[in-house]
Chain A
Amino acid sequence: MNQFVLQHGKSAELRLFPHMLEVGIKKNGSIQLNTFLTTATEGIRIYYIIEGKFEWRINHQPYVFYPGDVAVIMPGAPFGSDNGVLEIGAFTWIHLGIHKGENGHILPGKWSGLSESEGAAIGKILSLNSSPVLSRFNEAGKILKCIHAELFGHEIGYQARINHQVDDLLIQVTRHMTRQSHPGRDFPKTFMRLEQVLRENLSHQWTVEEMAALVGLGTTLFTERVKSYSGFSPINYLINIRISEAIKLLKRPDISVTDIALDTGFYSSQHFSTTFKKLTGYRPSEFRKNHLSNQ
């Protein structure tokens, strides 16, 4: 294992990969001050621990990493080690120049083979995840090793292969995250967390694929589970929460019906009005009038 750091703009190896800001392996044999300062950068950083034990602070929270663990640092999140000291051990990392879109989700660029909706879903799930630690995730180490070999080997098709590997890394990281936070024994608990995420992001245009990915399931199994657990299809469950939330907002005189529609995830006040009337029998404005006047 040789140490190296490749940086975009400085290293020729990365000329064809403008989205890869930095790739490297570091082996640290002695403790020195100010070798690992806290920084926040654009783009997403993925670290894979090879040897040793590292105590790092991500987003102001302390975490401990052991070999096989992965740290995922989202764009803008401060990351470093206390006192700037790097512990003894070895790790490899990749820094991807993936930027946040207008809606705040990270989006892969043109290099990526992910479709727009898959990319958006992965970005959404990564940005919703609260724990940056992925335990025992050797797959990530293998993918990074493969990227290194391709970068230096320059064999036929290496550009495409590297881009595939980066996509694969993002996919595997996302899957690992959702499986880790939803360990499968407890669907009610999983459903409760899903509900919470949906409520907190009600204006997002959720697809079934995204919701399923969020809890680490395939769409077919997910739909079946939600249906048998809640009695609703995933989309109908979502509409239910949207209308419940809208009812609460309609009872407050200070928000316009259009704002309520958009806040609760309907794409227009017309769409809101139709759905609301279909379910409750009232147009939103009628409903509001009934509830604001003394009954």
Chain B
Amino acid sequence: MKCIITIELGTNGIRVFAFDLNGRVIGSMKGYYPTFHTEPDHSEQDPEQIFITTLYVLKNLLNEYIHPKKYKVACICFSAAMHSLLAVDKNGNPLGNAITWSDNRAKKEALELRNSAAGKKLYAATGTPIHPMSPLLKIAWIRSRDAARFRQTSKFLSIKSYIIHQLTGEYLIDYSIASATGLLNIHTVSWEADALQYAGITAAKLPDLAPVFATAGKLKKAYQQSLGLLAETKIIVGSSDGCLATLGDGVKGEGNATITIEDSGAVRVMGPTVLKDDQMRFFNYLLTDNCYVSGGPTNNGGNIFEWFTRQFGDFTNPFDIEHSMQQLIEEASQVPVGSDGLLFLPYLLGERAPIWNANARGAYFGLNIKHERKHFVRATIEGILYEIYSIGKSLGEQRTIKSLSVNGSFGTIPFCTQMIANMFNKPVRLRQQSHSVSFGAWLLSATEMGIYKSLDEAAKTVELPDVYKPHKQHHAVYADYFGIFEKLSTKLFDEFEAIGNLQQKHAVPEELEKKKQSVFR
């Protein structure tokens, strides 16, 4: 019996799944690795720890589920979070930690480039919004602020490229991860000369471009032996988590969009053309030939509700945040749709799509004397989802969206899923299992193995049975309030900037803050 293994290199850790050839899960395991914030705006991970965690989790999964049942591993397919960057020397050894997507160190560079004509041209060529997350700007930052590291760098890799290189010795980057670097021309599928020039590198400093189906040579002998795998086990370079979550939800083709809400969130569509946008609001990532995953990302998703829960939730049972969240959601369900007119702008972490304003801040609006704690709970959830809706609405200007699918931990809470259906006034389909990314990797592997003729055919087999139907009257209430939400989010532009500046001006450095706390409690 053959099986397929998928390895998901996520933001907080790794998830490894084993699937049989019918797409059923044989087993899964996870492993955590930390993100280090050595300086404000910096967000890094230890590549060696990610590698060891990968080996460890993979080995345990094989030993527990695969070898005892005599499964033969046909292939191992990778997925990874986008926008990571790791510099390595000529021996392939890391020069420092990997920089993750949430790292904001290049924000000054990003702002300058975004507001320039060159930036607009780059966006049109690469499909990636000009933002500090993109490796293009991270490389530029290293060049200007860390010249020694820049000089020593033989290759700039993504985390996935590094792990694949460790296992096979090949330097590869798949189209979809490459198109999220801000360095790939998504129309010609080659490195973009203007972007290379801006970053100050040549194409030789980047890994070789490979289709998502490409196999990356053979596992090194030592790993074949220690993992107990055969030499013919294919290593498929795979794709990014965003693209695979979309594929795994069967969204391929017109009329569908998928909403992912984890810590952050995104609304995505897949189609044969890119979304063009003068305001540079959307990303466009190439999955395969003429197939683009496009959409808008938000900074403020499940992390904002988690923030709310930590501040105002009940923690009599310590450490149990899920339990506190559940309690709050029950409380919110006692409040009428629209929270009796209490609105929440969720921009605690600034915002990407659709307003792309790093200065944006949160606010509760419309507060009156009748509002209670439970209204705040509901308004917070509604605010996060209004923001999702506003991305969906702007996508709807270019694509027809008939139905939605929802994935991600926060998004699949029934209370929230129903709310999404009501806000969008569209039915919401939901996968039974919550592993869209890995399932997308399975679909990709199965297509590579010839089980399906194409990704189109593979995506059509995805069953999304649960349907949340929109409630017309609720939609009408949301539509009324959303009008104000949308106005506030753009109208407050100057005030956001002013308060952002004041917060910076009066900010107390973190060290001093700590001391003060211990003194004054």
Distance A248 CA – B34 CA, assembled complex (angstroms): 17
Distance A240 CA – B48 CA, assembled complex (angstroms): 10
- Shortest CB–CB separation between residue A195 and chain B, in angstroms? 5
Contact of A185 with B226 in the complex, beta carbons under 8 Å: no
Contact of B315 with A64 in the complex, beta carbons under 8 Å: no
Contact of A131 with B518 in the complex, beta carbons under 8 Å: yes
Contact of B13 with A195 in the complex, beta carbons under 8 Å: no
B93 nearest in chain A by CB position:
A251
- Shortest CB–CB separation between residue A238 and chain B, in angstroms? 12
B357 within 8 A of A: no
Contact of A231 with B13 in the complex, beta carbons under 8 Å: yes
Contact of A236 with B56 in the complex, beta carbons under 8 Å: yes
Mask of A221-247 contacts with B, CB within 8 angstroms, 1/0: 000010001111000110011011101
Mask of B42-58 contacts with A, CB within 8 angstroms, 1/0: 00001011011101110
Distance A123 CA – B52 CA, assembled complex (angstroms): 32
Contact of A185 with B315 in the complex, beta carbons under 8 Å: yes
- Shortest CB–CB separation between residue B45 and chain A, in angstroms? 11
B contact residues around A191 at 8 Å (CB): 32, 34
A contact residues around B225 at 8 Å (CB): 281
Instruction: List residues 128-151 of chain A with CB under 8 A from any CB of chain B.
Output: 131, 133, 135
Mask of B226-267 contacts with A, CB within 8 angstroms, 1/0: 110000000000000000000000000000000000000000
Distance A6 CA – B32 CA, assembled complex (angstroms): 53
Known: A63-B519, A184-B315, A240-B53. A229 touches B32 (CB 8 A): yes
**A185 contacts which of B29, B32, B53, B318 (Cβ < 8 Å)?**
B318
B370 within 8 A of A: no
Distance A158 CA – B315 CA, assembled complex (angstroms): 41
Known: A187-B319, A241-B49. A292 touches B91 (CB 8 A): yes
Known: A186-B310, A281-B227, A294-B90. A230 touches B52 (CB 8 A): no
B contact residues around A251 at 8 Å (CB): 91, 93
Instruction: List residues 1-42 of chain B with CB under 8 A from any CB of chain A.
Output: 13, 29-32, 34
**A231 contacts which of B32, B52, B519, B520 (Cβ < 8 Å)?**
B32
- Shortest CB–CB separation between residue A100 and chain B, in angstroms? 24
Interface size on B, residues (CB 8 A): 37
Contact of A231 with B55 in the complex, beta carbons under 8 Å: no
A206 within 8 A of B: no
A295 within 8 A of B: yes
B487 within 8 A of A: no
B223 within 8 A of A: yes
Instruction: List residues 103-130 of chain A with CB under 8 A from any CB of chain B.
Output: none
A282 within 8 A of B: yes
A contact residues around B518 at 8 Å (CB): 61, 63, 131, 133
A293 within 8 A of B: yes
Distance A63 CA – B520 CA, assembled complex (angstroms): 8
Mask of B65-88 contacts with A, CB within 8 angstroms, 1/0: 000000000000000000000000
Contact of A295 with B169 in the complex, beta carbons under 8 Å: yes
Contact of A230 with B310 in the complex, beta carbons under 8 Å: no
B contact residues around A184 at 8 Å (CB): 315, 318-319
A15 within 8 A of B: no
A contact residues around B220 at 8 Å (CB): 281
**B52 contacts which of A62, A244, A282, A294 (Cβ < 8 Å)?**
A244
B222 within 8 A of A: yes
Residue of B51, B222, B225 with most partner-chain A CB within 10 A = B222
Contact of B32 with A248 in the complex, beta carbons under 8 Å: no
A contact residues around B59 at 8 Å (CB): 279
B contact residues around A63 at 8 Å (CB): 518-519
Mask of A254-295 contacts with B, CB within 8 angstroms, 1/0: 000000000000000000000001111110001000011111
Contact of B92 with A291 in the complex, beta carbons under 8 Å: yes
Contact of B222 with A280 in the complex, beta carbons under 8 Å: yes
A contact residues around B321 at 8 Å (CB): 185-187
A293 nearest in chain B by CB position:
B91
A33 within 8 A of B: no
A16 within 8 A of B: no
Contact of B223 with A281 in the complex, beta carbons under 8 Å: yes
Instruction: List residues 453-488 of chain B with CB under 8 A from any CB of chain A.
Output: none
- Shortest CB–CB separation between residue A225 and chain B, in angstroms? 6
Distance A279 CA – B29 CA, assembled complex (angstroms): 16
Contact of A230 with B32 in the complex, beta carbons under 8 Å: yes
Distance A195 CA – B13 CA, assembled complex (angstroms): 14
Known: A185-B315, A280-B222, A281-B227. A244 touches B30 (CB 8 A): no
Contact of B13 with A62 in the complex, beta carbons under 8 Å: no
- Shortest CB–CB separation between residue B388 and chain A, in angstroms? 24
B contact residues around A237 at 8 Å (CB): 32
A contact residues around B520 at 8 Å (CB): 64
**A279 contacts which of B13, B49, B55, B310 (Cβ < 8 Å)?**
B55
- Shortest CB–CB separation between residue A245 and chain B, in angstroms? 8
A221 nearest in chain B by CB position:
B319
Distance A292 CA – B90 CA, assembled complex (angstroms): 10
Distance A112 CA – B53 CA, assembled complex (angstroms): 41
- Shortest CB–CB separation between residue A252 and chain B, in angstroms? 9
B505 within 8 A of A: no
A192 within 8 A of B: yes
B151 within 8 A of A: no
Distance A245 CA – B515 CA, assembled complex (angstroms): 31
- Shortest CB–CB separation between residue A277 and chain B, in angstroms? 8
Mask of A148-186 contacts with B, CB within 8 angstroms, 1/0: 000000000000000000000000000000000000111
13 cross-chain CB contacts under 8 A:
A61-B515, A63-B518, A185-B319, A187-B319, A232-B56, A236-B56, A244-B49, A251-B91, A277-B226, A278-B226, A281-B227, A291-B91, A294-B91
Starting from the known contacts A240-B53, A241-B49, A279-B52, 16 additional A-B residue pairs (CB-CB under 8 Å) come to A61-B518, A62-B515, A62-B519, A131-B518, A135-B521, A184-B315, A184-B318, A185-B318, A237-B32, A243-B52, A244-B46, A244-B51, A251-B93, A281-B222, A281-B223, A292-B91
Chain B contact residues, CB within 8 Å of chain A: 13, 29-32, 34, 46, 48-49, 51-53, 55-57, 59, 90-93, 169, 220, 222-223, 225-227, 310, 315, 318-319, 321, 515, 518-521
